[in-house]
């Protein structure tokens, strides 16, 4: 995994093994119960960035293997 505090949409897609389009859909989605985003993110100019810590926790809790480990 890239060694940075935040990851781009393409980096998140590569790690999860899904398309960038799917990641962008998840970025727009909100949990109906809490109203919180499914994937937390922030913007830096036009770039959308996802906290690396969130992605690591998500992968650990889901039991999924990282794309790089396959």
Q: What is the pLDDT of residues 18-68, one digit of tens each?
A: 999 999 999 999 989 999 998 999 999 999 999 999 999 888 887 655 554
pTM across the whole model = 0.77
| Closest listed residue to residue 47, CA positions, set 3, 14, 11, 2 | 11
Q: How far is CA 18 from CA 33, 45, 70, in A?
A: 25, 24, 14
Give the whole-angstrom CA distance, residue 35 versus residue 19: 24
pLDDT at 70 over 60: no
């Amino acid at each position: 995994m890239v060694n940075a505090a935040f990851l781009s949409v393409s980096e998140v897609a590569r790690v999860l093994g899904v398309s960038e389009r799917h990641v962008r859909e998840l970025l727009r989605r909100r949990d109906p119960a809490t109203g919180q985003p499914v994937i937390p993110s922030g913007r830096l100019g036009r770039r959308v960035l996802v906290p690396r810590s969130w992605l690591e926790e998500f992968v650990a809790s889901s039991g999924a293997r990282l794309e790089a480990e396959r």
